[in-house]
Amino acid sequence: MQKSFDTPKIVTIEKIIEETPTVRTLFFSDETLSKVLPGQFAMVWIPGINEIPMSVMISQEKGKAAFTVRRHGLATSELFSKKVGDQIGIRGPYGNSFTIKQGKLLLVGGGTGLVPLLRLMTFLKKSDDVTIIMGAKTQVEVFFEGLANKLLEGITHQVIVVTEDGSYGEKGLVTDVMEKLFKSNRFDSIYTCGPEKMMYKVVQIASENKSYVEASIERMMKCGIGICGSCCFGDVMACKDGTVFDGQSLVANKEFGHTHRNKSGMIENY
Amino acid sequence: MSPDISTSVGPIALERPTMLASGILGISLDVFGRLYKEGAGALVTKSLSKEPWDGYPNPTVIGMGNGYLNAVGLSNPGAPYFAKMLSPNQTVPIIVSLVGSIPEDFIFMVKQFENVKILGYELNLSCPHVEKVGLEVGDDPELVRNIIRSVKKESKLPIIAKVGLGSSDYLKTVSAACESGIDGITAINTLRAMAIDVETGRPILSHKIGGLSGSPIKPVAVRCVYEISSKFDIPIIGCGGISRWEDAIEFLLAGASAIQIGSAVGEKWTGVFSEINNGISKYMERKNFTKIKEMVGIAKKF
């Protein structure tokens, strides 16, 4: 791994894919970010607006990387509305990554939380048996289904899409499907990324079934490099000790699934 | 006999000379407990204000290849919230950093900690990137006198003043602090600095101007500790660019009784405290020092 650069480096957006009406993937050239490990993130500077942590999306092109952004707050809306030719700053990669295990693997993700799980797919072995459960509220918000199937070509796999309203795929929550799967399967390792309430349930189900599980968590982040303390999560820092933690440490962390901190550092409930 | 690395800064006794500098990681009791276990002799909190502050938008902290530039904007959950959060504390040596504009701000905040177990206070008279507090206060010796005297009246706990290089002679601030009964001086804070991105032409920090920390400021900090210790009879905590044991020793030789580590936590993570403690211990063994105080200010003899 190349040394990370803590000063923003300016890159130009070269291509944009509209994933859903509120989600876009922005592609740019950067050798370092093209090679990051699954779960690692970059700090993305939207000049004049803000700088936010983003999981690094795969590009399928050599020397290129991407960010998949959902229009939500000010910074993500500004990033979402960037055009080809616009400039953004990047620094990183930061954080640890998912532990790549072999065997029967289960990936559970929702929304842009799918980004590190798709990158994880590019590290799997032909001998693995992979199931991914992808969650969305409704059909129009489903994305990455085709890409997941493509990335898993040649590997025994199953892509299960779940929508809360049942407009596409199975109806319900990803964790409902996960519970059903556990009735007749056991998994060597489970990886999850998405809304914390979802991950909390995933870790709970995995722990009850004595399966190894890792989750990539999200917290209010400012520096991304273990200085400011904004992303503290129990006695660990999401940016430097994480963002990936194993089930055992998550179960022991009283903040997991319950609280996070705001910009001033006050604890708020999820 | 293995050397004793305990030290004291005036009335503040420390098991180890390496403290966590203010502004770094300091927003949770769990984290303070972890850093204490990992070797820090004391933990200085983020600077607290009367009210919660969100700080500035990002970018607030960037690396400079060597050292860091920051304008976090003193984000903190406010003194009342923080005091409540620290209230279960029994064993962790915590120093509460305070920032404000007028004596009343500090009196209000000190009252919050009346029943909380802490070692003392560090008054931030030197933050370089928030208006009306920090350096703007430190640059006004009369205000410094009033603040320190007010806090002294309100609390029996030791009080340290953290000074930096503002627009007036910092030694006048130190002098005012000493006259007002301060128990120790932390020197120095970050130095006013900025970085501009050449592709976009924009200042990188959202606040444009911030504070430079890390090894680039170390020689300036060593000079300040040396000057203060030469001119005043006051315990000093050295701060500025300490990332190796050699740096820590250099500050002790210049006249510091303890040191604070900030940027190096970003570079080396939490193991940096024990790494530096071990280095100090080995150096003392090699040089036949049995106590930290035997080394303090040696460089002034020459």
Q: Given CA atoms B291, B284, B261, A266 in this order, what sign does their dihedral have? A: negative
Tell me: the pLDDT tens digits for B60-106? 999 998 999 999 999 999 999 999 999 999 999 999 999 999 999 99
Cα–Cα nearest to B41, from B292, B294, B296, B299: B292
A182 and A238: one domain?
yes
**What residues in A contact B78, CB-CB < 8 Å?**
264, 266
Same domain, A26 and A54: yes
Tokens representing residue B200 in the block: 């976009």
B-chain residues near A223 (CB < 8 A): 60-61, 70, 72, 266
Same domain, A204 and A70: no
* ipTM score: 0.94
pLDDT score of B12 more than 90: yes
**CB-based contact B61 A222, cutoff 8 Å:** yes
* DSSP structure class, residue B57: P
The tally of CA atoms less than 13 A away on the side-chain side of residue B116 is: 26
A148 and A249 part of one domain: yes
Query: Above pLDDT 90, what percent of chain B?
Result: 92
Residue B52 to residues A263, B47, B67, B202, B210, Cα–Cα distance (Å): 9, 11, 28, 29, 20
Size of interface A-B (CB pairs under 8 A): 128
Q: Tell whether A124 and A187 lie within a shared domain.
A: yes
Same structural domain, A73 and A130: no
Per the CB < 8 Å rule, is A232 touching B31? yes
Distance CA A49, CA A59 (A): 25
Number of structural domains, chain A?
Answer: 2
Phi and psi of A49, rounded to 5°?
A: -115, -65
The reported pLDDT for the residue numbered A2 is: 40
Q: Which domain holds residue A82?
A: 5-94
Inspect the interface and report whether the beta carbons of B27 and A232 lie closer than 8 Å.
Answer: yes
The percent of residues in chain B predicted with pLDDT above 70, rounded, is 100
The answer to whether B17 touches B280, Cβ cutoff 8 Å, is yes
pLDDT tens digits for range B183-208: 999 999 999 999 999 999 999 999 99
* B158 contacts B152 by C-beta, under 8 angstroms: no
Mean pLDDT of B205-219: 97
Longest Cα separation, chain A: 52
DSSP reduced 3-state for B147:
helix
pLDDT bucket at B26, cuts 50 / 70 / 90: confident
Does A163 share its domain with A204? yes
Residues A110 and A214 in one domain: yes
Phi-psi sector, B276: left (phi>0), alpha (psi -120 to 50), beta: alpha
Q: Report the pLDDT averaged over residues B16-37.
A: 96
Task: Give the pLDDT mean for B284-294.
Answer: 97
**B239 tagged catalytic:** no
Of A246, A233, A181, the C-alpha closest to A39 is A246
Angstroms from B28 CA to nearest CA on chain A: 8
Contacts of A235 in chain B (CB under 8 A): 28, 30-31, 33-34
Question: CA of B240 to nearest chain A CA: how many angstroms apart?
Answer: 15
Is residue B283 over pLDDT 70? Answer: yes
Measured CA to CA, the distance from residue A237 to residue B182 in angstroms comes to 34
> What pairing do the DSSP bridges indicate for beta strands A129-136 and A213-216?
unpaired
Report the residue from B28, B78, B206 with minimal CB separation from A232: B28
**Cis peptide upstream of residue B17 (ω within 30 degrees of 0):** no
| Residue range B154-189, pLDDT digits in tens | 999 999 999 999 888 999 999 999 999 999 999 999
Residue A99 in domain: no
Best mutation site among B20, B22, B24, B27 for testing chain A: the one with the most A CBs within 10 Å?
A: B27
Side chain identity at B129, as an amino acid letter?
A: H
CATH assignment of the domain containing A190: 3.40.50.80
- A192-230: b (≥16 Cβ within 10 Å) or e: bbbbbebbbbbbbbbeeeebbbbbbbbbbbbbbbbbbbb
The pLDDT of residue B1 is above 70:
no
Going from the C-alpha of B194 to that of each of A196, A247, B197, B211, the distances in angstroms are: 37, 42, 10, 8
Residue listed under structure tokens 């990332």: B243
Q: Using the 3D structure, point to which of A68, A94, A120 is the last residue of a domain.
A: A94
Q: Which of B27, B68, B204 sits opposite A8 (nearest CB)?
A: B204
| pLDDT tens over chain A, length 270 residues | 344 479 999 999 999 999 999 999 999 999 999 999 999 999 999 999 999 999 999 998 999 999 999 999 999 999 999 999 999 999 999 999 999 999 999 999 999 999 999 999 999 999 999 999 999 999 999 999 999 999 999 999 999 999 999 999 999 999 999 999 999 999 999 999 999 999 999 999 999 999 999 999 999 999 999 999 999 999 999 999 999 999 999 999 999 999 999 999 999 998
One domain for residues A75 and A186: no
Interior/surface letters A99-123, b for 16+ CB within 10 angstroms, e for the rest = eebeebbbbbbbbbbbbbbbbbbee
Cα separation, A124 vs A104, in Å, equals 11
Q: Angle of helix B79-86 relative to helix B103-112, nearest 10 degrees?
A: 20
Question: What is residue A3's predicted lDDT score, i.e. its pLDDT?
Answer: 45
Query: In this model, does residue B274 exceed pLDDT 60?
Result: yes
Q: What pTM was estimated for this model as a whole?
A: 0.95
Residues A149 and A245 in one domain: yes
Q: Are residues A127 and A252 in the same domain?
A: yes
- For B68, the closest of A49, A51, A227 (CB atoms) is A227
Of the three residues A64, A94, A124, the one that is the final residue of a domain is: A94
How close is the nearest chain A Cα to the Cα of B134, in Å? 18
| Interchain proximity B60–A228, CB inside 8 Å | yes
What token pair was written down for B100? Answer: 């404000």
B263: which chain A residues are within 8 Å (Cβ-Cβ)? 227
Do A25 and A139 lie in a common domain? no
Q: Minimal Cα–Cα distance from B17 to chain A, Å?
A: 20
**A206 with A213: CB under 8 angstroms?**
yes
Residue A157 lies in a domain: yes
Q: Domain B7-52+77-191+214-301 in CATH: superfamily?
A: Aldolase class I (3.20.20.70)
Give chain A positions within 8 Å (CB) of B79: none
CB A94 within 8 A of CB A44: no
Three-class SS state of A89: strand
Length of chain B measured in residues: 302
Angstrom distance (rounded) from CA A243 to CA A41: 9
